[in-house]
Structures are given as C-alpha cells and as structure tokens.
Amino acid sequence: MSEPIPQALAGERLDRAVSLLAQTSRSAAAALVAAGAVRVNGTVRTDRAARLAPGDELGVAAAALASQRTAGEPRPEPAVELAVVHEDPHLVVVDKPAGLVVHPGAGRTEGTLCGGLLARYPEMAAVGERTRPGIVHRLDVGTSGLLVAARSAAAFESLLAQLADRTVRRGYEALCWGSLEDDRGLIDAPVGRSRRRPVQMAVSERGRPARTFYEVRRRYRSPAAVSHLACRLETGRTHQIRVHLAAIGHPLLGDEAYGAHVPGRSPGRRSGEGLPLRLSRPALHAALLGFSHPVGGREMLFESTLPADLTAVLAALS
C-alpha cells in the first residue's frame, strides 16, 4: 500500500499512522517500521516516533504486511478446551484457566483462547481484529476467570463502547502479601510502561489514569501474613491490579514479575515461602463480569468461583 496521508494524520507519529492506514495494531505497526517495511516519500524510515508532515506519502511493503497478518492470525484449535459459561448468537462468556494465552503474540502462536473460540464459533474470524478476532478485553496469561468475546460485529462495537464508557462491571479476587491497614480503599495512580523494565508496567506520571477499588475480605496471620481482597476496576490498564498492589507494598502471591521489586520482599516470598504450597502464577481471579447485552440491553451478570489452586492456598491459611 502507498498513499498520501489524510490531513488529519499530519503531525501524527509514524507508527500510529501506519496502524490506522494499514488497519493493524500499534505494536504490529511499530514492528513494520523497525523492519524497514515503511517508506515516507519513497525513503525507508525506521524511527517509529517520527512525525508526519502535511502532504507526506506513506508506503508499507505489501509482502511484509501480508506476512505479518498471516503469521499473527490465530487458527481454529479444536484441542483447546473451553469452559463456556454463556453463549448466544452475539457473544460468548468463558471461564479462562490460568496458563491459557488469550491470543497469539510474543512467540506464542498456538494453544490460545482465540484458537479454541474459532474452532467452536468460526464466524468470529470476521469480527474485530484479525490477530485477535472477537476479543474485546483480555486477561493476563496467569489470571483465571471470566472473559466475554463477541460473535457478531454489533456485539463487538457495543462491548467496546461499554468498556470505553466504563459501564462494564469487572470484579476480581486477589491474595496479596501482608495485612492492609484499611478495610477498603482506592488506589488512584497512573499506570504506564516501565522505563527500567520495558516489558512490564509501572506506576508512572507519564502513564494513563488507573483506579482500583479494593475491600479486604479476610486477613490471615499464620503461617504467613496474607490478605484476601475483592477488587473492582474502574479502568482496565495492562497488569493494573498487579502494579497497584505492588506499588503500595502488597504484591500478589505468586507474582514473579511485580513482587520481586518491592522493598523487603525476598524472591521466596513471591511464590509462597512460609506456606505449605507454592503458586506458579499470580493469585488473581476474574470473579465477576457484568454488562448490558448488545442486542436488547438486558443486564447480564456472571460470577465464577475461585479455582482449585487458590482455594488450596486459602485452606492452607485457614
């Protein structure tokens, strides 16, 4: 593809312009720029932050774009088992187990939730982005719990709008180290990409607004100080709950990424030292999901009980 940029894109970053014109994700657009597949006025540009000027002509190598799209597109995977909580012609709600990746990326191309959904609902291939069809929100690979995906274009647009308007109810259960002083509270701190560890997120003044409400369900003293929390998201930033709890000195049990950098928190304490068992993933479960049905507006509310690994931790603490 090669075309003059619209006037509205004058002054925009190169990666954002490529993302919009090629209809691909921002990260995929940045990869195209870095690979030398993007030209501005006939000259290869590899600085994704470069700003476009009025009248610039933007070109993306068709072969590179096609190769990227094919490589990143999930394929139907009947072997991926799904715990379907609800399904209708417009959407499906699943209870994702910890360890299951939502969509292909970062070297993981098989064994994804997307692949399982496509095998069961092939019409989803035409809904949303090609690299993550039907997906309107995500859960980290280590997070278990409820996730809704769209089976129709109408549902996709409606659910995205509800997320943008912050009307989707998302509740989590979490187990964190230590005993929080207040029974309930709000963590209001912007979250953005970490400067020290680019693959992680961090509380940052340069980040986007992020608000996490929490309530202590129970405090445990022995064999280790642990708090069982109910958390509610007002915003949905990447790793938000994990980052926020670590920022106030109470990282999640099992969180190797964010528990490691809390002062006084040794590596052993991240995974479960002091408990009769250890966790291989962050102790976070998406327990509640509520939204308005895209067709008809009926209020939908779903709940999920804690999975076996987290109930085992609670039993050990009790």
Contact indicator for 276, 316 with CB cutoff of 8 Å: yes
- The CATH number of residue 57's host domain is 3.10.290.10
Pick the closest to residue 142 from 300, 34, 15, 259 (CA basis). Answer: 259
**CA–CA dist 41, 27 (Å, integer):** 23
* Torsion angle defined by CA atoms of residues 230, 232, 236 and 239, in that order, rounded to the nearest 10 degrees: -20
Least confident range from 32-36, 81-85, 105-109, 301-305: namely: 105-109
Residue 170, pLDDT > 70, answer yes
What domain range includes position 53? 2-72
Q: Is residue 9 part of a domain?
A: yes
| Average pLDDT for 99-114 | 84
- Could you say which of 45, 72, 99 is where a domain stops? 72
Residue 98, domain member (yes or no): no
Q: Tell me: pLDDT of 84 over 50.
A: yes
For 247-303, write each residue's pLDDT tens digit.
Answer: 999 999 999 999 855 544 444 454 555 565 679 999 999 999 999 999 999 999 999
Residues 6+ apart with CB under 8 A from 142: 98, 99, 254, 281, 282, 284
Would you say residue 101 lies in a domain?
A: no
Please report the pLDDT score of residue 277 as a whole number.
Answer: 65
Beta partners for 220? 226
Model's pTM, two decimal places? 0.77
pLDDT of 9 reads 83
Reported for 259-262, long-range contacts at CB under 8 A and 24+ positions apart, including other chains, are 259/177
- Better pLDDT: 22 or 94: 94
Which residue in this structure is represented by tokens 């995929």?
28
- Catalytic residue numbers read 140
Q: How many domains does the chain have?
A: 2
Percentage of residues in the chain having pLDDT higher than 70:
91
Which of 54, 72, 90 terminates a domain? The answer is 72
Domain assignment of residue 93, yes or no:
no
For residue 209, is it within any domain? yes
Residue 253 lies in a domain: yes
3-class SS of residue 67? helix
Strand partners, 227: 176, 219
Mean pLDDT across the chain, nearest whole number?
Answer: 90
Please write the tens of the pLDDT for every residue from 183-227: 999 999 999 988 888 778 999 998 999 999 999 999 999 888 999
Residue 292 lies in a domain: no
CATH number, domain with residue 201:
3.30.2350.10
Specify whether the CB–CB gap between 74 and 135 falls below 8 A: no
Distance CA(264)–CA(187), nearest Å, equals 21
Q: What is the reported pLDDT for 263?
A: 47
| DSSP-assigned states of every residue in 32-97 | HHHTT-EEETTEE---TTPBP-TT-EEEE-HHHHHHHHHHHS----TTS---EEEE-SSEEEEEEP
In a domain, 150, yes or no: no
At 65, the pLDDT band (50, 70, 90 cuts) reads: confident
Question: What sign has the CA pseudo-torsion 237, 239, 242, 248?
Answer: negative
Out of 12, 37, 72, a domain closes at: 72
224, two tokens: 């280790």
